[in-house]
A = this chain, B = another copy of it.
Amino acid sequence: MRLNQLDERIVHALAEDARRSYADIGAEVGLSAPAVKRRVDRLREQGAITGFTVRVDPAALGWETEGFIEMYCRSNTSPEDIRRGLERYPEVASASTVTGDADAIVQVFASDMRHFERVLERIAGEPFVERTRSVLVLSPLVRRYGSGSPA
């Protein structure tokens, strides 16, 4: 699917501040407020916009420990099974199925090492998980596009 230039500018404006009013965005792109809303509604229906979220600084919230968990799942596990299993954990910031040895990579933020270990044990104990391999983040180097961490 392709977005026209107007849509891209609207999306860009929302990416910078998703709580701007439609009138405000309209003034920037040269449309009336209702026209902007119609486009946003259409973008949501088409799936180009999947929702609105908040950018957080994990450290400021006390999530000082970050890590990646590679999941190796039982052979008949579907991506949807994994998603349902993981979405209950507030510590899970992102998760994707991937190519390679592991079946999925899960990004986890925890308050400290003990907390991280607890989450790791619970995830490893999910029925569809065969084994896990985890690495801890030492230093966040680059964090763009709101990929969640210190500014």
Q: What mask results when residues 103 to 128 of chain A are scored 1 for a CB within 8 Å of chain B, else 0?
A: 01111010000000000000000000
Interface residue? A75 (CB, 8 A) = no
A48 contacts B57, CB within 8 Å?
yes
Q: Specify which chain B residues have a CB less than 8 angstroms from the CB of A131 in the assembled complex.
A: none
Docked CA distance A1–B60 (Å): 6
| Chain A 134-151 per-residue mask, 1 if CB under 8 angstroms from chain B, else 0 | 011111111111111111
A140–B54 touching, CB < 8 Å: no
Quick check: A90 and B12 within 8 Å, CB to CB? yes
- Is the pair B61, A55 in contact by a Cβ cutoff of 8 Å? no
Binding site for B on A (CB under 8 A): 1, 3-4, 7-8, 11-12, 14-19, 43, 46-62, 66-68, 79, 82-83, 86-87, 90, 92-100, 102, 104-107, 109, 135-151
Chain A to chain B contacts (Cβ below 8 Å), 18 pairs: A1-B60, A11-B151, A17-B51, A18-B18, A48-B60, A49-B57, A53-B54, A53-B146, A53-B148, A54-B146, A55-B146, A66-B96, A83-B142, A87-B141, A87-B142, A99-B136, A100-B135, A145-B150
